[in-house]
Amino acid sequence: MTENQFLKDVEKIYQFLENEKNSINEIIKNLENKEFEKLTIIDDFAKTLGLTLDDNLRFALVTRVVNLRDDSLVQVLKKLAKKEEEIITLQEKAYIFVKEFWEEKHLKLINFINENRLLTPFYRTIFNGVFSVGKVMSTWQSSWTALIINKTNKDLLAKFNGDEKKVFEYLEKEKLFDLGHGGEIADRCYSALVKNKDKYESQAYIKAFKKEVTSVVDALENFADNLIELEDEIYNQKWDYILYIQALIKAFSEDDVNLLVDRWADVDRAWMKITTPIQIGHPLEYYEDHFRKAVALEWDIRLTNPSFAKNENRVNKIKAAFEKIYNSFETNKKYEDIYKFSLKSLDKVQLYIGRPALFFAAGFNGLFSAQVVPNDEIVSKEEGKKIFAFSDEILQSSRAKPFLRLSREIFGQELLTKDREFLFNETEKWHQVYDISTIGHEFGHILWCDNETEAVMNKTGNFKNIEEFKATTGGLISFFCDESNDEKQLEEQVLIDLVKRAVGLIGWMEVDEVQPYYCEGLIHLNALFDTKVLEFEKEVLSIDLSKQKIDELKKWYITTYTNLAKHYLEKKDATQFLNQFAIKEEKYFMPTNPTINSFVKFYFEKYKDIGQELDTIDKKSNYLR
């Protein structure tokens, strides 16, 4: 088989995934058209949960199955006056139902590849191996969530009466964080806290989840054994894959908590050597666990779109804006080192535009629209980073999403009509906006950081809660500071996108694992309200995207981003920056600006009240040409 034939097979798989996604999106269409007799899967889902179906629950269950998010389901359960313990139990039952649904879909893909003898025996074995490991990882997810999120973290909060600062102080004092490179406290953990009498001890995953991790290691060993028998005649990366899987086995098997970060750095090093269109994703991110940043159980295959043409457009615009902001500071050796560190990371980025093909475990609780990894900056300094962007998937999902009454009541029909005309009829321009907002976001993560930035800035646990704003704004700044004007025609849509994102993120207020995005939204709202792009009076949100307001908004972002960059260069605690815009009120961050504060409360009440209601006035048929 030639590489050309191989890529034609990748294309067939890519098309199969698109068709499957369309068929899953039919569930949304059935909901919109009130064809409830076709929603037997949702009837089964409700029965599994022991709940009586109504319109709100039906919407929440469709969202859980198709979009993999459970925030709507949690809101519906709260409306049904379910206690916290009941909600946790039902969330777990929902996870199992969704896992079984998607594993069946994944098996269909595996069968399609095997029966049609697509790719080569080596790459068919990669798909089969990832599927086998994934099934075991998904089983482990249940006990991971039960121990780390629903037991330990809740117990720690209770122990210190909800005072997060005291939780962090306790964890540091008791040496309950993993140690990273050079024996410093790491910015993440590959371990869990286990209670021994009245004290916690940190245990590697292999000890805390012995049965589950042993099964993962067994599956990985089988995977490696099967690959050893075969050759990669297309990309000659056989040993890169095998060494990567062996590094995973070693990392999962390590029981010394202070060697875990090093073991997983070796995984990331081995993984960075793999450059084919078939990319495996392993535990890389750590959003769910707010306190110790225990790394989530990611496991997937990301498939690159064979028709994707690589271009340097976004990274060059990012670099130009980065240089402009950096040159506004006084010269300083410390700043210069961090600047050069970031630049080197930018130069080493591998960009993959594609789709998730298989996903398991944490993936069944939601997929990302893009990702930049690894998070280990020591590895990134040596090897660079990979950026994954799922633009085709996001466009397909965005077009399938139902229109909601909440959107119409908050944004008004005029803005929504503009946005929907663009979404359904400007495919090429939509991808350009995605490039600015989402791929720009991933490049934005790389800026102003070195290998110790996160650990130093996260002493009070809020680094991620400003980092997402820094990332999105990095992409926006590359657009706002751009002197070439080749993207000028996208300005209005970029800002509509920003307004919708900032407001929409309020709905995630009570979802702990996405708190960094909620906080990001609160900071964006300051930009929009300070410049009067948004005004809120008598329970009505007015939106002004006139040229004057847009110019003021650009100035706000450039000034605020420059201040934020300085904050990062100085490695000041993240909470200091966040508290300019939001302060924790009881359990959740709330805006310091009284107008924004009242708007956030208003929106969230609306979201709870009508967030699951479909829009009966506007229809997708109005936009389909």
Tell me which residue of 518, 534, 525 sits closest to 584, measured CA to CA.
Answer: 518
Closest Cα to residue 475, out of 490, 461, 453? 490
Write down the pLDDT at residue 49. 98
Tens digit of each residue's pLDDT (9 = 90 or more) over 390-436:
999 999 999 999 999 999 999 999 999 999 999 999 999 999 999 99
Q: What is the pLDDT of residues 274-311, one digit of tens each?
A: 999 999 999 999 888 989 999 999 999 999 998 887 77
**CA pair distance 376, 186, nearest whole angstrom:** 9
Which residues, including other chains, have CB under 8 Å from residue 147's CB and lie 6 or more apart?
Answer: 192, 194, 208, 209
How many DSSP H helices and E strands does the chain contain?
Answer: 27, 11
CB 257 within 8 A of CB 178: yes
Q: State residue 290's pLDDT score.
A: 87
User: Residue 156 corresponds to which amino acid?
Assistant: L
| Residue 240 pLDDT | 98
Of 232, 58, 166, 127, the C-alpha closest to 613 is 58
pTM: 0.94
Query: What residues in the chain have per-residue pLDDT under 50?
Result: none
Q: What is the DSSP letter of 154?
A: H
Q: Are 595 and 522 in contact (CB under 8 A)?
A: no
pLDDT at 377: 87
- Tokens 């004057």 belong to which residue? 548
Residue-level pLDDT at 197: 86
**Of 560, 552, 513, residue with least CA distance to 533:** 552
The pLDDT, as a whole number, for residue 239 is 98
Return the DSSP state at 343.
H
Task: List 541's β-bridge partners, or say none.
Answer: 536
How far is 170 from 160, CA to CA, in rounded Å? Answer: 9
From 555, 531, 557, 554, select the one nearest 543 (Cα to Cα): 531
Residue 483 has a pLDDT of: 87
- 561-565 CB contacts, 8 Å cutoff, 24+ apart: 561/325, 561/470, 561/473, 561/474, 561/477, 562/325, 562/328, 564/448, 564/466, 564/469, 564/470, 564/473, 565/325, 565/326, 565/329, 565/447, 565/448
